Amino acid sequence: MRRIWVLALFVAASFAAGVVFSRPLLAGRFDPYKKLNVFAKVLSYIENNYVENVSEADLMYGAARGLTDTLDPHSRFMDPEEYDRLRRETEGDAEITGIGIDLEKKKRGLVVVSPIDGSPAARAGIEPGDLIVKIDGAEVGEFEDAVNRIQGPSGSEVVLTLDRRGKEITVRIKREKFEVKTVEGRMLEDGYGFVKLRIFSSNTDAKLVEALEDIKKKADAKGGLRGLVLDLRRNPGGLLDQGVKVADRFISEGLIVRTVGKGGREMDRQMAHSRGTWSGFPMIVLVDGATASAAEIVAGALQDHQRALLLGTPTFGKGSVQTVMTVDGCGPKPCGLKLTVSLYYTPSGRSIQTQGLVPNILVDAVAPSPDLGDGDTLRERNYERHLKNAQGEKAIEQQRLGDYQLQMALDYLKSWAVFSKHSGTKN
């Protein structure tokens, strides 16, 4: 039996793949053999009459890509090199060589979904939504060729010309090896934890548990965990089963997600379990326009179950699930086929396809401009001959995080504790 991997993922760039065993898809009433005669004739004409020699592999790969190019943008044929890269990048924490960006092929061209945190692209200032116009001074061309030209050996450079909201920008980025950790956790301050999920790979759930246990240990030493921020910003998705497991960590019962395939047939229904549930503290999930696919499954489930508030900007809106199949006959290494096979629905029955999730609290990534007059406001201490404070005058400390959305999430969690105390209810 051929291996088939099931996934919920964003676009076909750096990160995407899925992993659940199932039976091969059946052709149904469609009979491809009747069409092979046309294909054989065209192939024969090209081989016998085309002005230049073309390798058989290039012709086969091109024909296969042509089939998937007629489908949705998330279905694609992958040559051995691309398929092998996809499999390696979903195995867990990975060391990647390149500049570190997720890309999507759109009508207007090659668009940056998001730079990977800590990557050369992120340090160079690449932003989600940037349109790549040129690569090393040459036109972008076909998707696969463009991705190959952006990649390269460590230490080499690539020059990208970008269209950012109508303004042309040129950036020079040095390729390097860098580690992509799927999960990172830390304490924001006493009682308040933070977990960042960058992608849903094969070890995400296990790494999440490690991060939560470490946070709990530190929080218990300071009076307990009073709130948690789960950061799903710029998370392009990944493995469907890992998204389900992550949601299950915070939900004790009920539906997490269901998938519906061809003809409206329900293909799968994933339920939460009480065992191993992390509860007893409020949660805020950070999302943005690059939060996609499996990340949207998690965010949608936590929002529908009222387990967490979503804070940030509306999510990407990818509500489909792909199956990745191994295709033999491509030489020493197999090719791969990624095919959209179903749509998914949140516990309340929402399809987020093209719609995305709307946060409970809309907060832009950048803080609003301060009121220019605030700096001129006089306070009691500014007056001459003001009375001294008998208890002693102390400097007012306002320590704010550099991440505006994260700071807002922390502020809301703190206010949550205050309101719960005043209302006599527990978190």
Residues 67, 1, single domain; the answer is: yes
Phi, psi of 378 (to 5 degrees): -85, 140
User: What's the pLDDT score for residue 397?
Assistant: 61
User: What's the pLDDT score for residue 303?
Assistant: 98
- Please report, for residues 16, 73, 274, 351, the alpha-carbon distance to residue 354 in angstroms, rounded to integers and kept in the order given: 19, 13, 32, 9
User: What's the pLDDT score for residue 8?
Assistant: 43
CA dihedral 92, 95, 100, 104 (to 10 degrees): -40
Residues 87, 104, single domain; the answer is: no
Residues 215, 186, single domain; the answer is: yes
The widest CA-to-CA distance across the chain, in whole angstroms, is 99
Query: Does residue 5 fall inside a structural domain?
Result: yes
Query: Does residue 372 fall inside a structural domain?
Result: no
Tokens of 201: 């790979």
Query: Does residue 48 fall inside a structural domain?
Result: no
Residues 194, 121, single domain; the answer is: no
- How crowded is residue 420: how many other Cβ atoms within 10 Å of its Cβ? 14
Residues 259, 297, single domain; the answer is: yes
Contact 171, 125 (CB under 8 A): yes
Residues 162, 281, single domain; the answer is: no
DSSP 3-state assignment of 46?
helix
| CATH number, domain with residue 198 | 3.90.226.10
User: What's the pLDDT score for residue 376?
Assistant: 60
Active site residues: 293, 304, 318
Q: How many domains does the chain have?
A: 2
Burial of residue 265 (CB within 10 Å: 0-12, 13-18, 19+) is: exposed
Residues 59, 166, single domain; the answer is: no
- The amino acid that residue 167 corresponds to is K
Give the residue from 163, 179, 195 where a domain finishes. 179
| CATH number, domain with residue 109 | 2.30.42.10
DSSP string for residues in 274-303: STT---SS-EEEEE-TT--THHHHHHHHHH
Query: Does residue 43 fall inside a structural domain?
Result: no
Residues 275, 314, single domain; the answer is: yes
Residues 165, 196, single domain; the answer is: no
Q: How far apart are the C-alpha atoms of 264 and 164, rounded to whole Å? A: 40
Contact 8, 22 (CB under 8 A): no
Q: How far apart are the C-alpha atoms of 180 and 100, rounded to whole Å? A: 9
User: What's the pLDDT score for residue 157?
Assistant: 94
Q: What is the pLDDT along the chain (427 residues), one digit of tens a residue?
A: 333 334 444 333 333 333 333 334 444 455 666 778 888 888 888 888 989 988 888 888 888 888 898 999 889 999 998 888 778 767 665 667 889 887 777 777 888 877 777 789 988 999 878 899 999 999 998 887 888 899 889 999 999 999 998 899 999 999 998 777 889 999 999 999 999 998 898 899 999 999 999 999 999 999 999 999 999 998 888 889 999 999 999 999 999 999 999 999 999 999 999 999 999 999 999 999 889 999 999 999 999 999 999 999 999 999 999 888 999 988 899 999 999 999 999 999 999 999 999 999 999 987 776 654 455 677 787 788 888 888 877 766 667 777 889 999 999 999 987 777 666 555 5
Residues 255, 150, single domain; the answer is: no
User: What's the pLDDT score for residue 297?
Assistant: 97
Query: Does residue 289 fall inside a structural domain?
Result: yes
Give the residue from 179, 207, 230 where a domain finishes. 179
Give the residue from 150, 179, 208 where a domain finishes. 179
Give the range of the structural domain holding residue 333, as residue numbers without chain letter.
Answer: 1-27+53-93+181-367+400-427
Residues 229, 326, single domain; the answer is: yes
